[in-house]
Structure 1
Amino acid sequence: MYFHVQEWINDIAEDEPDPAAANALQEGLGGQFGEMRTMMQYLFQAMNFRGAAAKPYRDLIQGVGTEEISHVELIGTTISRLLDGAPDYHGKKTDPLDTPGAGGATPLSIALDTGNIHHYLVGAQGALPVDAAGNPWLGSYVYNSGNLVLDLLYNLMLESTGRLQKCRIYEMTANKTARSTIAYLIVRDQAHENAYAKALETLGIDWKKTLPIPKTNAEKFPEVKKLVDLGLQSKQYSFDLTGASEAGRIFQGASPSNDGTELDATQQAPKGTPSFIAPERLEEFSPGLDPELLKLIQKTAELELAEVEASFGPTAA
């Protein structure tokens, strides 16, 4: 059972729209080594886990998988922000939708020669479940062998490859919106490398000379250095409301990254950052709710609230 906090797990910086950067980020979302893959792989491994004596390993995998849900939200929202609007378009809501905005460019002309045109044709300036080449995400990416050591090895490889690709994407763009999210995911991927490496160490496999992968000294990226200085690469969260997680029995001791830090699994969840809903995009014919629909939704919400209060009593104002 999962609960949703209406916050982003990390702040998304503001910058100009950049559909090319948005398309590069699609690899980190829907690619073979992207966030959709890690989310689904770890959750399936946790759901299918067998053997009560190995519960700490299940809890570790499940905690990482739960965090990956928030990573899917973060990177998908970042892609949407990078697509939200068009540089040099200064149209107003009152402008006809089939003419250029006053003093600006045609609203969606950027879609013709930059990034993935499906972001505009299909997604209404939003993220898609595809990779950077437009290939759809596949369930066959998910690896769940049922063998603990094999699954941990595969998870370590997955995090390492995902981090390698994000380091490359970072080097592709100077856009602040893109880099704020990429840097956060680079550091958290290293934390997950540490989690699976430490789990393997407890099973007799020594990864201390191997991690981190890639050996790129990512601290040269200023956004990454700021997070590493906070020790974010050595924290793992349980996302467990009941205190039943035993992941801390594994995620402890010296970091396998050999960076002099100690692993810390004491936090339930990281502190989030306020989220907000993007404005309507009239040029995409995505106006949101018309007055009639808004009235219907309000009526439905009132009926649902009445049912809740009838069962559980008055809700807080």
Structure 2
Amino acid sequence: MYFHAQRYINEIAADEPDPAAANALQEGLGGQFGEMRTMMQYLFQSINFRGAAAKPYRDLIQGIGTEEISHVELIGTTISRLLDGSPRYTGKLTDPLDTPGAGGATPLKIALDESNIHHYLVGAQGALPVDAVGNPWSGSYVYNSGNLPLDLLYNLMLESTGRLQKCRIYEMTDNKTARSTVAYLIVRDQAHENAYAKALESLGVDWNKLLPIPKTNAEQFPEVKELLDLGLQSKQYSFDLEGKSEAGRIFQGMSPSKDGTDLDATEQAPEGVPSTISPERLEEFSPGLDADLMELIQATAEMELADVEAMFGPVAKK
């Protein structure tokens, strides 16, 4: 089972909208080496895992796959923030429909100047399950051979390639919103490189000076350095509520990155930061809840709350 804490795994910095950066980030979300790929690959590998004696390896893959769900949420939300709002739109729910376009300032004209018009035409200024050129995410990206050393090698390659691409995306934009998320993912990709490298070490592989991949001198990126100083590249979370994960039997000892840190798998999950819901995008006619729908939603919520209170007692109200 999976449980959702309504917190983002990392804080998304505030900055101006940047649709071009949003489109670059689509590669890190829905591309061949993006977060949707890592999430699905690791979860399918853990679901299909066989061999009770190798449970620590299953737990390691499953824990990373669970974290990747939060990475999909983080990068998707970041894309949405970068697309948020047409600068010329000032409409309100009470305005006549044509008011926002008065004076020739059409609300979504900005979309015609951007590289991925689907962000506006299809996605209501939000993330899509596609890569940076609009190709849909494909389940054929997922690699699950059933052979443990081969899957671990593939996973290490996937993390390394994803980290390489995110380093390039970081260099493509100086937008604080984009960089805050990309920097976090660069560091966590290194942690996952370390995890799979350590697992392969336990199977007899000697990495010597190969890791991390790529050799980016990532501490030159200030947002990355801040996270490295916290040792985030050497932590792995279990996301295990019952304390049954055995991933710590693998994720321990000196880091394969040879950065002088020791691996730490003692934490269940990062603290995270509060999640928020963005305001409606009226120019997208989305979600477009009118008064009758709002009344219906409120009535439904009150009925559900009454059912909960009948079963569990009064719910505390803030």
TM range (shorter): over 0.9
Q: Is 1:304 matched up with 2:308?
A: no
> 1:228-252: per-residue Cα shift (whole Å, max 9, x none)?
0110000000011100101101000
Partner of 1:92: 91
Compared CA separation, residues 98 and 227, structure 1 to 2 (3 A)? same
CA RMSD in angstroms, aligned pairs only? 1.7
Partner of 1:2: 2
Q: Name the amino acid aligned to 1:194.
A: N
Partner of 1:122: 122
Q: Is 1:146 matched up with 2:146?
A: yes
Compared CA separation, residues 7 and 103, structure 1 to 2 (3 A)? farther
> How far has the Cα of 1:180 moved from its partner?
0.5
**Equivalences for residues 138-287 of structure 1 within 5 A:** 138-287=138-287
> 1:141-175: per-residue Cα shift (whole Å, max 9, x none)?
00000111011000000000000000000111111
Partners of 1:104 and 1:85 lie apart in 2 by: 18
Partner of 2:36: 36
- List gaps (5 residues or longer) in structure 2: none
Partners of 2:263 and 2:104 lie apart in 1 by: 52
> How far has the Cα of 1:101 moved from its partner?
5.8
> 1:108-149: per-residue Cα shift (whole Å, max 9, x none)?
112112131000000000000000010000001000001110
- List gaps (5 residues or longer) in structure 1: none
**Equivalences for residues 63-78 of structure 1 within 5 A:** 63-78=63-78
Identity among equivalent pairs (%): 84
Q: Name the amino acid aligned to 2:86.
A: A
Q: Is 1:295 matched up with 2:295?
A: yes
Contact 1:155 1:196 in 2 (8 A): yes
> 1:280-302: per-residue Cα shift (whole Å, max 9, x none)?
11111114422222222223233
Secondary structure in structure 2 of the residue aligned to 1:177: helix
Contact 2:86 2:108 in 1 (8 A): yes
Partner of 1:52: 52
Compared CA separation, residues 214 and 291, structure 1 to 2 (3 A)? same
> How far has the Cα of 1:102 moved from its partner?
7.2
Secondary structure in structure 2 of the residue aligned to 1:133: coil
Count of matched residue pairs: 315
Partners of 1:253 and 1:267 lie apart in 2 by: 16
Partners of 1:99 and 1:157 lie apart in 2 by: 52
Partners of 1:36 and 1:108 lie apart in 2 by: 29
> How far has the Cα of 1:86 moved from its partner?
2.6
Secondary structure in structure 2 of the residue aligned to 1:207: coil
> 1:35-69: per-residue Cα shift (whole Å, max 9, x none)?
00000000000100001111000000000000000
Return the TM-score normalized by structure 2: 0.95
Partners of 1:151 and 1:316 lie apart in 2 by: 47
Secondary structure in structure 2 of the residue aligned to 1:23: helix
> 1:260-281: per-residue Cα shift (whole Å, max 9, x none)?
0000000000011111101111
Partners of 1:315 and 1:154 lie apart in 2 by: 51
Return the TM-score normalized by structure 1: 0.95
Contact 1:22 1:115 in 2 (8 A): no
Partner of 2:27: 27
Contact 2:91 2:99 in 1 (8 A): no
Partners of 1:22 and 1:254 lie apart in 2 by: 37
